[in-house]
C-alpha cells in the first residue's frame, strides 16, 4: 500500500488467487486517473481468463459509477463507448 496512491486487494480462490492493483494518478484540472490491474495466480489462472471480458465490463461500470459520485466528476460515457 502506498498511502493515497496505490493499494492492492486479493481474492483467494481454490488453488490460487486474483490480485487487484489500484493506482491513483493526479491529472490536469484537479482530476484523478484510476488504473486497475488484475493478475491471476495459481492453477486456475488460465481457466479464469474465460471470465475476463465480464470482469472488464464490471470494472468499467464501477469506475463510471464512481465518477458520477465525485462532486467534480465530468460526465462519463456508458461502458463500451470510450
Q: Where are the domains of the chain?
A: 6-69
Q: What is the pTM of this model?
A: 0.59
Q: Tens-digit pLDDT profile for the chain (82 aa)?
A: 567 788 999 988 888 888 989 898 988 888 888 888 888 888 777 777 777 788 788 888 887 887 787 766 555 555 565 5
Per DSSP, what are the bridge partners of residue 12?
A: 17
Looking at the chain, list the stretches that DSSP marks H as alpha helix, in order from N- to C-terminal side: 45-48, 52-69
3-state SS, residue 4: coil
Amino acid at each position: 500500500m502506498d498511502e493515497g496512491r496505490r493499494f492492492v486487494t486479493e481474492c483467494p480462490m481454490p488453488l490460487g488467487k486474483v490480485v487487484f492493483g489500484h493506482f491513483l494518478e493526479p491529472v490536469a484540472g484537479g482530476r484523478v486517473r484510476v488504473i486497475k490491474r488484475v493478475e491471476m495466480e495459481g492453477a486456475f489462472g488460465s481457466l479464469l481468463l474465460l471470465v475476463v471480458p465480464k470482469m472488464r465490463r464490471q470494472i468499467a461500470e464501477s469506475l463510471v459509477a464512481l465518477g458520477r459520485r465525485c462532486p467534480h466528476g465530468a460526465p462519463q460515457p456508458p461502458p463500451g463507448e470510450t
